[in-house]
Structure 1
Amino acid sequence: MTAHGLRTDQRTTFVGKSVAIIGTRGYPSFYGGFETLVRQLAPYLADQGWDVTVYGRDGSTKKDTPDHDPRVHAIVTRGVESKSLSTLSYGLTSSVHAARHRPDVALVMNVANGYWLPLLRARGIPTVVNVDGIEWERAKWGKQAKAVFRGGARLTAKFGDNLVYDSQEIARRWAAGFKRDGIFIPYGGTDPGPLEPVPELAGRPYALMVARFVPENTVVEFFDAAEHLSERWDIAIVGSSGYGGDLDDRVANLAARNERIHWFGHVSDDQRLFSLWQHSGAYFHGHSVGGTNPALVQAMACGAPIVARDTVFNREVLAGSAIFAQPHSADIAEKIDQLLANRSLQQELSTAARHRGETHYSWRNVCSTYETTLLDVTGTKSSVPRSNNNRE
């Protein structure tokens, strides 16, 4: 290992048209939305002749999977494994390494890494930054963490050469709050084709939730609804907090004492997860903050009949292809119960969601737009800030 925690046997030179991807857990990883994007984007860029390097964390990737493309170079750096410091610390060590080896462009995920953009700019490396959601409004973060994200956003607005917004509403918020424009690039979905149901739920109508266990994902309200719904229907729950805690304990207890509640934890097997969506009678999507949610787009591609929390973000993605519920357990239970009891409505919503996903959320279009954005910014390597567009 070097002083920066890098494995000395890893590749450290860039050749040709090169991009460094900073701010994810690595390649290939199955943790969240950024990682899903990288699993699609990195091989696509390699197909287009790019030299692709993805920075990540030790133990967060799985190379012995069909998703692994040997043309994509993975570099592991050292960081602090904690809820509040992981992104910042890994972002720093990744940015230091990239600054030393100077790729043609850096694709940076998450505004928390805005603190390291001046380092990349000082080395003449242009940046494209996916700003993600409005992190400083998430209930899971304390006051100090929210201030860190807000500070990172200000620096991203000042030093990011080009910004990517995964929803039109996020773009509007950044234009209003930081006077920055950018590129709208959502997430994509993969049609898996017909899949066998998971054995635990084969032949049984069920409601599904897939979410990280944080308050803004309406997890508590769904758990309350699930207790009522399980009197009549099976319930499948995918996800965890990632760090243990009260919500993990609660769902474990629910599953232990109620045979109709099935907790799968974090599912890294895409085909298993896709099958759960594909065969669900009702998928509840409770995310309330952020932009275009990757899990929602994938659920659409799988043809899941959707009940979604009524938010501007979810309505932007789903339009008329879902039922919307208020964030109260009674309304969630009522809407899911009505959908599970109506097979024709399930089929109608499944067809509508799949069609909207195919029309608006194609991975090929997503990856192509990312490549165009990367190419555009490599033509403007100047370190001189752009006027009228780089300050809050």
Structure 2
Amino acid sequence: MKIAILGTRGIPNNYGGFEQFAEIFAVYLAQQNHEIYVYNTHDHIFKGKMFQGAHIIHKYNPEHKIGTAGQFFYDLNCILDSRKRKFDIILQLGYTSNSIWSFLLPKKAVIITNMDGLEWKRTKYSNKTQRFLQFAEKRAVKSSDFLIADSLGIQKYLKEKYNKESSYIAYGAAPFLNPNEELLLPYNLDSNAYDLLIARFEPENNIEMILEGVAASQNDRPIVVVGNSNNSFGNYLKQKFKDNPRIRFIGGVYNKEHLDNLRFFSSLYFHGHSVGGTNPSLLEAMAAKALLVAHKNEFNQAILKENAFYFSNAKEVQKLRETVHKNRHEQIVQDNFRTIIQEFNWNKINESYLTLFKKSLQ
């Protein structure tokens, strides 16, 4: 098969979840002797035309000049290029900025779209932007031949709202097998003596709720907050909690080995995400044997089931901080780790995508 992947900034991953999947899946497809092409932004750090058997097509992305709107022109450039490549399948990862150009997609290619999360529910967006995202979602559903939902909640939503079937294929994670306590030294941390929160600074990730619970608790254990906080919401939180020495904002950490060790050696790992499907950072925490304390919603509960502690408000966060200790819950940690190996391993994810691809061409 001749396959293209659109909708990411490109590979190798230097950005986020979809990029990580695109890298892993593209290499897998190349190893299976399929002809795979991945679209990269012109300013991607990787300048080569081949990456481990995958063809790389660089296209201009004016985002650095005009901001977020540049993504729409980048996607347009990718779609226009795809019209002359005679792809059998085009896999779109997300729909936000490419759905408006869906009428330009090549007619003979099978269009498969991973619908990601419920982007229009994100409170950081204005009412106008939320309405546009709902419009884009609808366009993506109508213009795609096949849909992929990365969570059962998203699959249910697509069926109820659009009466459209989708294939449930989750995200994946690699089991973390080589902890190294020395990597805590740059962060001035000791094993099992800190809590951890890793998230983008957006209101729907419930960072404020978690930190309010931490501030109210009687536990002196610090919480380390990882993420780029240089936005209005991040600045607001840093100002609000600036006098609390237990709350440490350390900015973004992009070294995966460091992140995995921070997760592994944490006491409690707080996961506040509440919008969207299978969140990559949640699976990575499970894969690194963190003890999960998660926001109570259908997306998190579908993954963690009974193998986590849940909260819905700051008071519950406070109580969990004061009563839950990782060394008493090894079975929960091991059960989540086993779930990664059995259900969310990359081989299974890759095979599920490839099975769908073959089915789509029949």
Distance 1:251 1:215, change over 3 A: closer
Given that 1:251 and 1:263 are in contact with CA atoms closer than 8 Å, whether structure 2 keeps it comes out as: no
Residue aligning to 1:14: none
CA displacement at 1:83 relative to structure 2: 6.2
Equivalent position amino acid for 1:337 in 2: E
CA displacement at 1:259 relative to structure 2: 5.2
Given that 1:114 and 1:160 are in contact with CA atoms closer than 8 Å, whether structure 2 keeps it comes out as: no
Q: Does 1:39 align with 2:52?
A: no
SS at match of 2:301: helix
Q: Does 1:223 align with 2:211?
A: yes
Q: How many residues align?
A: 354
Correspondent of 2:223 among 227, 230, 235: 235
Q: Does 1:269 align with 2:255?
A: yes
The CA RMSD measured in Å over matched residues stands at 2.4
Residue aligning to 1:359: 342
In structure 1, C-alpha distance between the alignment counterparts of 2:212 and 2:73, rounded to whole Å: 37
Structure 2: gaps spanning 5 or more residues: none
CA displacement at 1:130 relative to structure 2: 0.2
Q: TM-score, normalised by structure 2?
A: 0.90
Q: Does 1:306 align with 2:288?
A: no
Residue aligning to 1:74: 56
SS at match of 1:52: strand
Residue aligning to 1:175: 159
Give a deviation string over 1:117-169, Cα, whole Å, max 9, x none. Answer: 321243x1211100001111121221222222212222222110111000111
Equivalent position amino acid for 2:128 in 1: Q
Correspondent of 1:349 among 319, 332, 345: 332
Structure 1: gaps spanning 5 or more residues: 1-16, 380-392
Equivalent position amino acid for 1:302 in 2: A
Distance 1:362 1:116, change over 3 A: same
Aligned pairs for 1:47-196 within 5 A: 47-61=31-45, 69-81=51-63, 84-112=68-96, 113-122=98-107, 124-196=108-180
In structure 2, C-alpha distance between the alignment counterparts of 1:255 and 1:142, rounded to whole Å: 26
Aligned pairs for 1:191-340 within 5 A: 191-197=175-181, 198-199=184-185, 200=187, 201-228=189-216, 232-240=220-228, 244-250=230-236, 260-326=246-312, 328-340=313-325
Given that 1:254 and 1:261 are in contact with CA atoms closer than 8 Å, whether structure 2 keeps it comes out as: no
In structure 1, C-alpha distance between the alignment counterparts of 2:134 and 2:320, rounded to whole Å: 36
Given that 2:8 and 2:19 are in contact with CA atoms closer than 8 Å, whether structure 1 keeps it comes out as: yes
Give a deviation string over 1:85-126, Cα, whole Å, max 9, x none. Answer: 24423221111111222322111011222222321243x121
CA displacement at 1:225 relative to structure 2: 2.9
Given that 1:255 and 1:261 are in contact with CA atoms closer than 8 Å, whether structure 2 keeps it comes out as: yes
Given that 2:192 and 2:265 are in contact with CA atoms closer than 8 Å, whether structure 1 keeps it comes out as: no
Given that 1:285 and 1:309 are in contact with CA atoms closer than 8 Å, whether structure 2 keeps it comes out as: yes
In structure 1, C-alpha distance between the alignment counterparts of 2:57 and 2:245, rounded to whole Å: 43
Greater shift, 307-316 or 221-230, is seen at: 221-230
Given that 1:187 and 1:292 are in contact with CA atoms closer than 8 Å, whether structure 2 keeps it comes out as: yes
Distance 1:203 1:299, change over 3 A: closer
Residue aligning to 2:9: 25
SS at match of 2:101: helix
Given that 2:3 and 2:87 are in contact with CA atoms closer than 8 Å, whether structure 1 keeps it comes out as: yes
In structure 2, C-alpha distance between the alignment counterparts of 1:140 and 1:102, rounded to whole Å: 39
SS at match of 1:195: coil
In structure 2, C-alpha distance between the alignment counterparts of 1:230 and 1:27, rounded to whole Å: 45
Given that 1:131 and 1:165 are in contact with CA atoms closer than 8 Å, whether structure 2 keeps it comes out as: yes
Greater shift, 252-261 or 295-304, is seen at: 252-261
Q: TM-score, normalised by structure 1?
A: 0.83
Give a deviation string over 1:16-70, Cα, whole Å, max 9, x none. Answer: x321111111101232221121122111111111222211324454579xxx943
